Structure 1
């Protein structure tokens, strides 16, 4: 099986784990030294924030049910033991105490290293664009 297929399978498995609320499966993909630039503050996350399932369980607990998650337009580039991929992601959930689900599309890039025959996340970057009309507001209304 080609590395692009293996990486695509890993990304698909991660989307399934998001929908299932499986914090252990999600955190197991990170290398211990991984750095993540996620949508939530602070500006940079490192271990244990990205490697501890309890941190992710607390995030899932902020929703009043399952998270709906979709990955679209995945592109994979791989080399000798390193790879990166980028895609568009849709996250939808009802915040705990809320009555309606939000829908957010965002951009995701993963930097990967192959360790012991398995692709692992060394770097993650998620972002939303912002309106440059003076409002500086996040452009959470965009859809692909």
Structure 2
């Protein structure tokens, strides 16, 4: 039997293959029905069905030429009996439609998980990039670990 930490690692890292395949259903299956997400893109917060927007996610995937490469790096998990939290650095790379070249971007991820009916699901997820505090307020998407 796998440990809770191993199960949580599997849930969190399932994003890698799902992003590569642009598999909306597999991505959204990782979340609770009442999930709260603080994503890189606006708005500031999404809750429940807004966070589980399959149509919006499919439209976002359609904006890329080819796969969206994704890696969860340095994942750290702390698990209790029915709640857990984790954090990692994530790397995303792809080529937007019509762009002559692709991009690579690192960002931070923190998630809170809840065990429901014996299965771990993401109840809260926060992704962010630092920003330059030099007055430009530019997102620091060129950072690497």
Classify the TM-score, shorter chain: over 0.9
Cα offsets for 1:96-116 (capped at 9, x unmatched): 111111111000011100000
What is the TM-score when the length of structure 1 is the normalising length? Answer: 0.96
Contact 1:92–1:102 (Cα < 8 Å) also in 2: yes
CA distance in 2, matches of 1:99, 1:48: 35
Equivalent positions of 1:90-129 (< 5 A) are 90-129=91-130
Equivalent positions of 1:43-122 (< 5 A) are 43-122=44-123
CA RMSD of aligned residues (A): 1.0
| Large movers: runs of 4+ above 4 Å | none
Name 2:36's counterpart in structure 1. Answer: 35
> Which residues of structure 1 form unaligned runs of 5+?
none
CA distance in 2, matches of 1:124, 1:88: 13
What is the aligned residue count? 144
Cα offsets for 1:24-82 (capped at 9, x unmatched): 01111111111100000011112323223222111101111110111100000011200
Contact 2:11–2:121 (Cα < 8 Å) also in 1: no
> Which residues of structure 2 form unaligned runs of 5+?
none
Contact 1:35–1:122 (Cα < 8 Å) also in 2: yes
